[in-house]
Amino acid sequence: MTAQLIAPSIPDRVQQQRIFFNTGQTKAVEFRLEQLKRLKQAIIDRQDAILQAAQADLGRPAFEAYFEIATLAEINLALKQLKTWVKPQRVATTIEQFPASAWVQPEPLGVVLIIGPWNYPFQLMMSPLIGAIAAGNCALLKPSEHAPHTAQVIAELIQATFDPSYIAVVEGDASVSQQLLAEKFDHIFFTGGTNIGRIVMAAAAKHLTPVTLELGGKSPCIVDADVRLDYTAKRIIWGKLINAGQTCIAPDYLLVDRRIKSTLIEQMKQWIGVFYGDDPASSPDYGRIINAHHFDRLTSFLKDQTPIVGGQFDPATRYIAPTILDNVTWDDAIMQEEIFGPILPVLTYDDLNTAIAQINSRPKPLALYLFSTNEQTQKHVLQSTSSGGVCLNDTVMQVGVLGLPFGGVGESGMGSYHGKASFDVFSHPKSVLKRSLWFDLGWRYAPYKPERLKQIKRIVTG
């Protein structure tokens, strides 16, 4: 009779990783570099499997699926910069500390939990993992069950590459996530919707566990009259329709200067045709909705709307055509939650300040887009709005600049990552003061005579 291998329980898995972390192995910079190299090679070796999984889960064309593998750029940056990132940063000391030195040195947090989403299921799992490894942590990964093919690839990759006491994957549905969140971690990194983000934060609060929440929201796209319309329309349509609109920083809705609305809509319609042909359903470059639940949610937005472009859908293939809606009001159902699909509402404004006031009356978005060649308008929008990030005269491309920390604000998230920010989010900046024992100024010791009081006043007031 063959014995069955029983996977460790979640508490046991967490305990194994805590034991491994306490050995100190992960703190060595050379160890971290070696693990990053191993991860890089594992991704390179499985490129075809990753692309196939993204296609199976989301109908992604190979070109868009390659965005998942673009996380290799983050590994390359970490390999190049890690020895600089880990160096202690000197801090100046004041005369009353003499003789002394002070510095801040980053140290790993310990055992971290990373919960990934389904829309970019590989990239958005690997990207925070790179930061966790670079910072010297152990990590437990929970990929999304809604992208099962990618989850399987991730599980196989991690199992074949790392000791599970160091990095491991736990697969399963929401009940598994609940079990994970019941455990005490040193940090939780969650990417997903705002409602689930609240659940994660509430669970983390029970253990006083710090969290990074990469959420979403309704990212507005303002289009000023002072633009080059063909490029503007082209870039909006691309950013809205990659991954069939299932991108957390996709432009959620347009706020367009009334004077150019009709021309912009006509230009966007033309670009849809250029990108996907007369029948996007047959285009090899256009994706599908992840599952029936999200398909039904998206098509419900169309019940009370009359699309001016698109509007067709097919439940059997989870296809929703690139769709533009006009005559949308702020009170319509589609304006009450993040769309996360290939449907683009168009609202108009006559006065930019009114448009800004509408944006500011709603939860702060993950991204804000402005198309305008007027530098005063750009400056005004930057100063008058709050969002996780801003992109001027393009969409989505800001996520590709690794030097820009990526994250939300308010209901769109907390904390940021990418590049060095990924290292920072999984590190604790430990402050250190080192005093000398060869000399001791006596200003702080009792008895506190009147001249001592004068002395401390001078020190405090400068």
Q: Which positions are annotated as active-site residues?
A: 214, 248
- All residues at 6 or more sequence positions from 135 whose CB lies less than 8 Å from its CB, including other chains: 32, 106, 108, 109, 423, 424, 425, 426, 427
8 Å CB contact between 39 and 130: yes
Tell me, letter by letter, the H, E, C secondary structure of 260-286.
HHHHHHHHHHHHHHHHHCCCHHHCCCC
How many CA atoms lie less than 13 Å away from 9 in the CB half-sphere? 5
The Cα 380–Cα 356 span in angstroms is: 10
Coil, helix or strand at residue 120: coil
**Beta carbons within 10 angstroms of residue 207's beta carbon:** 14
Question: Measuring CA to CA, which residue among 282, 244, 290 is closest to residue 56?
Answer: 290
Residues 63, 64, 69, 72: is their CA dihedral positive or negative?
A: positive
In angstroms, rounded to a whole number, what is the distance separating the alpha carbons of residues 209 and 205?
A: 6
User: Backbone phi, then psi, for 382, in 5-degree steps?
Assistant: -60, -40
Distance CA 106, CA 102 (A): 14
- What values do phi and psi take at 60, rounded to 5? -75, 135
Contact 276, 283 (CB under 8 A): yes
Neighbours of 283 (CB within 10 A): 14
**Exposed (0-12), middle (13-18) or buried (19+): which is 150, by Cβ within 10 Å?**
buried
User: d(Cα 229, Cα 234) in Å, to the nearest integer?
Assistant: 8
Angle (deg, nearest 10), helices 375-384 and 352-360: 30
Nearest to 34 by CA among 173, 163, 195, 224: 163
Phi, psi of 224 (to 5 degrees): -80, 160
